[in-house]
Each structure stands twice: as structure tokens, then as C-alpha cells.
Amino acid sequence: MSTTLPAPTPVAPAAPDASPRTYLVKTLGCQMNVHDSEHMAGMLEQAGYVAATPADAAAEDADVIVINTCAVRENAADKLYGNLGRLAGTKRARPGMQIAVGGCLAQKDRAGIVARAPWVDVVFGTHNLDVLPVLLERARHNQQAEVEIAESLQVFPSTLPTRRESVYAGWVSISVGCNNTCTFCIVPHLRGKERDRRPGEVLAEVQALVQQGAIEVTLLGQNVNSYGVEFGDRGAFAKLLRDAGATDGLERLRFTSPHPAAFTDDVIEAMAATPTVMPQLHMPLQSGSDRVLRAMRRSYRAERFLGILDRVRAAMPDAAITTDIIVGFPGETEEDFAETLRVVEASRFSSAFTFQYSPRPGTPAADLPDQLPKAVVQERYERLVALQERISLEENQAQVGRTVEVLVAEGEGRKDGATDRLSGRAQDNRLVHLALPPGLAPQDAPRPGDLVTVTLTHGAPHHLVADSAATGGTFAVRRTRAGDAWAARQSGEDSHDHGGAGDACGTGAPAGPVVLGLPTIGLRGA
């Protein structure tokens, strides 16, 4: 059910001296959802809203709260309705507050969200992000909930205004939707068939991001390496990597998530030959059993998967490879699970996102026989996690002694204040906590967006420590345009409008309105 709506109009204040209405966007899900939330924030700011301050965002104190939902995992609905239940009391205490629900679960459950949580004002889907400001205004005017779910993509999200959460690193969508038919995954049903952007549009957005200060860009797609299928060029993704990587001023290019079945050697060659493409790969395994992979409709087998990893490491010996794995798919035997353990041991992943299978209504796997008992799935899951924790620790300990360049990030290290460290990502995307030299003046400290060269001194399963500076060892700061852009945002000097289509901007508003609820590795399903 879709209707033609007028273009978003600014929200008129109640009186000439009234403050603009504030907003908060909360994100549950993968990197695609995080980027969609940036579009939602951009549209709201174009319509006259302002981001809640970090303190107000933490307290969920805003005039409009948007929840961008996920439908991939079993607890997605629990997370949504838990949030909504908590916000019901907040809304009663705050006259005029509005709550909107968008994203994959909204696309799936539709009007059922309002039926279950009648205090919700707006429900919109994955195909019509652009209607959010209009639906909010309509709900305010009509004093009733507005639900609008489009059955197909109305506006390519990348043409929408965007409030970038980071000025030093950004996402660029190269496609939306997915043509695969994995039996466990509901994403194609909710996101639709794959739609590819033209290469020139992608490169223009990358260039715009870099011109505004970003030095790292991540290309996004539900099946990123099948890019080009819509316009008939199966080599398009490798070409895009080379062309985007050549953008003047770009220092780091990443992408997520590829599908093993479509991963070709020309992509490996492009990664190895393009200095700005980082030595990092997220390659979803899902299962190491060929029998289970067939039941999942994953059109590759374990040996092909391992062969890809071998070729990637031959071309980029220092590449860090991460993955997704599902435990307890219907009919999985102990022998099948043993095959998964074998492939994980052979793959030497730097880290893995591991999930217990949960049936998703509307997927073929939900109706398969031999759904496994929870206790069996839990026991296997714990064995898999223990194996991967050991491998992650061994792989990270093997990094000790290496000198790496770290892109300092904002908010990566939860204990940075207590440990007097900064945090960021090495080129291979490993998380690094780094010490500063004793007596370093505050004005000389690295800023988010700056690059710091340090030597790794300790490895743990989920992070690395570089305390070389604390003992007079390696420590060199390269101040960057990205650090300058971060500093300008902090001082409010970079404010500019959101008026242009595809605006890739950040704003002078306080950072922090998007709250992440799940890991930010792109997930194909669980």
C-alpha cells in the first residue's frame, strides 16, 4: 500500500520564539541500518528538527524518537517492543512527543506494530524512508497513527539528505536488496531484489565524502560483490574498487558484505593492487558442512570457501578475515557441526559473529523438520565460541611486535578514560587501544580522524594494546584533514545545509544521536 505524498516541509514552530523540535534515531541492526539511520537523521534536519544533545539522547529525551528496526534475529521483536514499552511512560510525561518505527521489522509487521503498541505515531518501511517527515506531520495534524509501507523501492536512499555520524569515516551504499534465496534469511523479502547504483554516482559520493574530510569509506551492499548484475557487468565490483580506491585524498577503502559464491579472483587482484583497499575481509561462512550449506541454499561448499581464503592470503599475507556462523540449523547433526569446527580451525578467522539459529516466520527454513532442541544448540554454540576465542587470542598475540597505523576513533574504547588510552582501528580493522607518551600536551594529542603509528605490545581475543609510547617506543602522529574536520564539528564551525540530493554531510549538531544495538558487521542472516 503506497500513496504519493508531497515533499517534506519544514516543521513550523508553535511560536516565533519556540525552540526547534528535537529528534533521536535509535538503530537496531547491521551497517545497512546504521546508514539508513543517517538518512533518516538528514531528512529530519532538513525538515527543521535538531539532534538531541548527547545527554538528552542517553536519557531518551527528545520530541521525536525514531527506532530503526532489524528483523534478522529472533530477539529483534523483543528489542523493539522492549524499547516501545519503556518509551510509553516517557511519552505520557512529555506532551507532543512522537514515536516512529521504521526498518525491516516495520516492513514485516506493518500495522501490527500500532495494534500492539498504540502509542506509536508513525510506521514506515525499508522502501520509503523519504516519507518520514511527512508522516510525522500528518500524525500530528490528524492526531492518529500513520502507517505507510511501500512494496518496492520508491527513492534510492543515497539520494536522500544524510546526517553523517562521523566526519572522518563514512558509508556509501552501492546497492540495495538481494537476489539470493538463503532459506534462513528474510532480508530479500524485506529489502527486495538487488538494485545497483551506477558507478559514476558511487564515485561522486565517495569524492564528496573525501572533500568534506573523510579519509575512510566503506562500500555497502547486501551482497556487495554481485554489484553490476543489474546493468550486466560481472566485473563491475573489481573495477569499482580500483576506481574508488584512486580517489584523491582517500586513505582507507573497505567493503561489506560479500557472498562466497560470487567472490571472484578479479576482486582479490583489485584488493591487492589498490593500496587504499585495506587488508581486511568479512566473508560469511554460515556453516562448514556441505550438507547444511545445501539446505541453506548457500551456493558454495566448504572447500571453495577455504580456497578463497587461501587466495586472499596469498595476495595479502597480513589480511584479517572475519565471518558469520549459524549454529543449530534444522537437521544439523553432530557430524555437520564437527565440519564447521574443522573449517573454523582451518580458516583462522580474526573474529567471528556467531549465532544460534532462530526460525524467522516467512523463511523456508522455519518450516523445515528436525528443528533442534535449544539445549543442543546452546551446547554447540558454546563449543564454537570457545574455539573461536582461542583462535582470536592466538591470532592477536601473533600481532605483538608489529608496527601499525591506527585511525583514531571516537567512542571505540569504553575504558579509555580510565586507562588514559585512545582507541581506533588498524589497517586490518583490528581494534587497538594505544597509550600516549607521558607528559603529552593536550593540544598535541591525536584527534579522532588522525593517524597514529605505534607498536603492538599485547593481544587479547577482542582487541590489541599498543603501549609502546608509554616506554619511549614507537609513537608518531599524522594530523589529517579528517582530524581537522572532527575539530571543526566539535567547535560548530562546519554547519551547512542538507538541501542537495545525495548530500554527504555532517553537521555542527552534537554527535551521538544514533544508538547502536547490535554488532556493526553487516549480517546476512541468523
Cell (9 digits) for 124: 514506515
Binding residues: 30, 70, 104, 178, 182, 185
Q: For residues 304 and 365, give the distance between their C-alpha atoms in angstroms, rounded to a whole number.
A: 24
- Per residue, what are the HEC states of 147-192? EECCCCCCCCHHHCCCCCCCCCEEEEECEECCCCCCCCCCHHHHHC
Q: For residues 309 and 301, give the distance between their C-alpha atoms in angstroms, rounded to a whole number.
A: 13
What is the separation of C-alpha 46 from the centre of its chain, rounded to a whole number of angstroms? 23
What is the separation of C-alpha 275 from the centre of its chain, rounded to a whole number of angstroms? 23
Inter-residue contact 521 to 324 (CB < 8 Å): yes
Inter-residue contact 335 to 376 (CB < 8 Å): no
- Per residue, what are the HEC states of 474-526? CEEEECCHHHHHHHHHHHCCCCCCCCCCCCCCCCCCCCCCEEECCCCCCCCCC
Inter-residue contact 184 to 231 (CB < 8 Å): no
Query: Any idea which residue has 564515485 for its cell?
Result: 203
Handedness of CA 211, 126, 34, 88 (dihedral sign): positive
What is the separation of C-alpha 386 from the centre of its chain, rounded to a whole number of angstroms? 25
Q: What is the DSSP letter of 373?
A: P
Q: For residues 466 and 453, give the distance between their C-alpha atoms in angstroms, rounded to a whole number.
A: 10
Helices (H), 277-354: 290-296, 302-315, 334-347
Binding residues for [4Fe-4S] cluster: 30, 70, 104, 178, 182, 185
Query: Any idea which residue has 577455504 for its cell?
Result: 306
Cell (9 digits) for 70: 532489524
Inter-residue contact 67 to 29 (CB < 8 Å): no
Half-sphere exposure of 46 (CA within 13 A, CB side): 26
Q: What are phi and psi of 408, to 5 degrees?
A: -65, 135
| Radius of gyration, CA atoms only, the chain | 23
Peptide bond between residue 19 and the one before it cis (omega within 30 degrees of 0): no
Q: What is the DSSP letter of 129?
A: G
